[in-house]
Amino acid sequence: MVRAEDACHDLNIRLVDLFHDARLLLTPTCAAPPPAKSLSGAGMINGVADYNWVRFTYPFNMTRSPAASVCVGRSSAGLPIGLQLVGPQHGDLVVIRSAAALEAAIGFDEVAPGGG
């Protein structure tokens, strides 16, 4: 547990350095589109089933960095594609304002299909 906490702390120090030069970090939200029910939770990455298809969110959860995901379009199968905006610790307002501005600029205003 201590090693895991140390790893999170080391990653946080690297992010602090990064945010001296950048206001926001932009990444894909996920490494793959949402998986089909038949894959039992595994996403398809380059044609290979991978249960770690959400790996781009972990570092920022572990470092308590504020992040938001904005839907920027849909895959060829109609599934949502997200862009993750990450800010420095205590930079919540920058992330929220940037996400709102991006949503307004994109104009992607569709309501996600219901699963009912």
User: What secondary structure letter does DSSP report for 56?
Assistant: T
* Token pair belonging to 94: 């920058």
Distance CA 108, CA 46 (A): 27
User: What secondary structure letter does DSSP report for 39?
Assistant: G
Task: Determine the pLDDT at residue 116.
Answer: 44
Distance CA 73, CA 113 (A): 13
Distance CA 88, CA 20 (A): 9
Q: Where are the domains of the chain?
A: 2-106
Residue pLDDT tens, the chain, 116 long? 889 888 888 888 888 899 999 999 999 999 988 887 888 888 888 889 888 888 899 888 888 899 999 999 888 888 888 999 999 989 999 999 999 999 999 887 665 555 44
Sign of CA dihedral 106, 109, 113, 114: positive
